[in-house]
Amino acid sequence: MRVACIRVLRLAREAAHLIKDASRIDIYSHIDPDGITSGTIASLALERMDLEHEVHFLKKLDSSTVEQIRDSAPEVAWFTDLGSGLYHLLADMRGIITDHHVPSMVPVSKERRQDLLAYATSEMIQVNPHLVGLDGATEISSSGCAYLVARELSHANTNLAALGVVGAVGDLQDRAQGRLVGLNRQVVEDAVNADVLQVIRDLRLFGRETRPIFKLLQYANDPPLPHLTEDQEACIVFFLELGVDLKEEDRWRRWIDLAPFERRRVVSELVTLLLEKGYGHKLVRRLVGEVYLLAKEPEGSPLHDAKEFATLLNACGRYEAGDVGYQVCRGDREAYYKKALELLKGHRKYIVDSLYVVRDVGLETLDNIQFFHGGDRIRDTVVGIAAGMVLGSGDARPGMPLIAFANSEDGVKVSARAPRKLLAKGLDLAEVLRKAAASVDGEGGGHNIAAGATIPKGSEEEFLRLVDDLVREQLEG
């Protein structure tokens, strides 16, 4: 681990040297929380150098978008949270990739994947954990990589580490172990030392700061709470039976309003409930863990808890308003923040409606996978969120990858999610979707546990057959 971290820092230092020699940089960033925070970190670091730059938010990066960027002839291009999957198309451009998705192995052979010298002659410096043997799905995200470059530019940029934590949490890198691990720990440590982050051990359910306590349990899905999730009346009764008041005068109490002894009582009861219903200790451990609080944001704000901050950014990106989230990350608490809150409100309703669509169309299964097609009823930017929520609910088969489709303007968007336990058996969704998509003239990639693709309309049946076969081969191999 230590050697791998040193090698990542070497790459970040190379990227910083390239930046210092430039007179203008164009930043191209993805629109999810990790992408928005990555782009913001890059922008703020350049702004502090008085370096001319512009930020462009992209729903995706494909071969046609690469050609458009190439035609614009940027002096230096900085790709954040995208680019590694198309490294073979970008290698001759002058620039930087700070990404955590599995890099394309063209033209670099798989045997040389962890050899930094294989990339030394490229014009494009790639800061990616996979190149040094780290897992980009859990050990550092794109925002963390962008932060490491910013830190190499100036130690004064350590106060940007909090955005790196928000990006990692938004990418669910803390989900498996209830805390950020790997090189993410360095980002957390820097943020704490810069007095921009506090780390506490507490209940990790979404909405600790903003939801009434009964809503906290009603909408819980990580993990889902048996007999409580989606049952408002049962959640209200749960608190009343524990002697925990739901209101204080005329105001609904939030988790942060409870006394320490009340919190302990609730957590103890939830743990007992999960264990009695047969949930394993690994899942139960996700209930309580590290919670990351942004020290400069007021308690009770959607920006105070990193998980809620990331969700706000997600609402911006999924409705192609990455620039709104970007301005919020830069500190806007007026017009852009108000717009972000409006998007969040609409996003929550849209997610609920999308889950109803999935239940309406139903899940179908092949031998090794399950799938649904949202058609035009689920936005292509939201179908991945719906897939993740369905996989974690009681509606999906627990030991099988889920493939989700939604129509998009340039074909069919594919989002794939898998239970983490399948990774130990050899599953790699990034490889599966890359190969299957290429076979139907599409493009795919991502992480081993969560991946995406775009394929031509009408090719879904053939694509599913290929995915089913590839998943079977991986799990049997």
Question: For 250-301, what is each residue's pLDDT tens digit?
Answer: 999 999 999 999 999 999 999 999 888 877 777 777 899 999 999 999 999 9
pLDDT value for 118 = 44
Which pLDDT band holds residue 117 (cuts at 50, 70, 90)?
very low
Closest to 443 (Cα-Cα) out of 63, 100, 107: 63
Closest to 451 (Cα-Cα) out of 408, 414, 405, 396: 414
Write the pLDDT tens digit of every residue in 165-191.
Answer: 999 999 999 988 899 999 999 999 999
- Residues 303, 162: contact at Cβ < 8 Å? no
Q: What is the mean pLDDT of residues 238-245?
A: 96
What span, in angstroms and rounded, lies between the C-alpha atoms of 72 and 66?
10
Mean pLDDT of the chain: 92
Write the pLDDT tens digit of every residue in 326-356.
Answer: 999 999 999 999 999 999 999 988 988 999 9
Q: Cα 315 vs. chain centroid, distance in angstroms?
A: 13
For Cα atoms 183, 185, 189, give the angle at the middle one, nearest 5 degrees: 130
CATH number listed for the domain at residues 2-160: 3.90.1640.30
pLDDT value for 367 = 96
Write the pLDDT tens digit of every residue in 434-467.
Answer: 999 999 999 999 998 999 999 999 999 999 999 9
Backbone angles phi, psi at 178, to 5 degrees: 70, 20
What is the gyration radius of the CA atoms in the chain, in angstroms? 22
Write the pLDDT tens digit of every residue in 383-408.
Answer: 999 999 898 777 888 889 999 999 99
Q: Are strands 402-408 and 411-417 parallel, antiparallel or unpaired?
A: antiparallel
**DSSP letter, residue 305:** B
Which pLDDT band holds residue 202 (cuts at 50, 70, 90)?
very high
- The architecture of the domain spanning 362-476 is Roll (3.10)
What span, in angstroms and rounded, lies between the C-alpha atoms of 143 and 191?
13
Q: Cα 243 vs. chain centroid, distance in angstroms?
A: 37
Q: Cα 104 vs. chain centroid, distance in angstroms?
A: 20
What span, in angstroms and rounded, lies between the C-alpha atoms of 400 and 418?
7
Residue extents of the structural domains in the chain: 2-160, 201-340, 362-476
pLDDT value for 283 = 74
> pTM, whole model, 2 decimals?
0.88
Write the pLDDT tens digit of every residue in 43-78.
Answer: 999 999 999 999 999 999 999 999 999 999 999 999
Reduced to 3 states (helix: H, G, I; strand: E, B; else coil), residue 430 is helix
Which pLDDT band holds residue 105 (cuts at 50, 70, 90)?
low
Cα separations in angstroms, 232 against 22, 255, 256 = 56, 16, 20
What span, in angstroms and rounded, lies between the C-alpha atoms of 406 and 390?
15
Q: What percent of the chain has pLDDT over 90?
A: 80
What span, in angstroms and rounded, lies between the C-alpha atoms of 178 and 139?
13
pLDDT value for 104 = 81
pLDDT value for 393 = 74
Which pLDDT band holds residue 115 (cuts at 50, 70, 90)?
very low
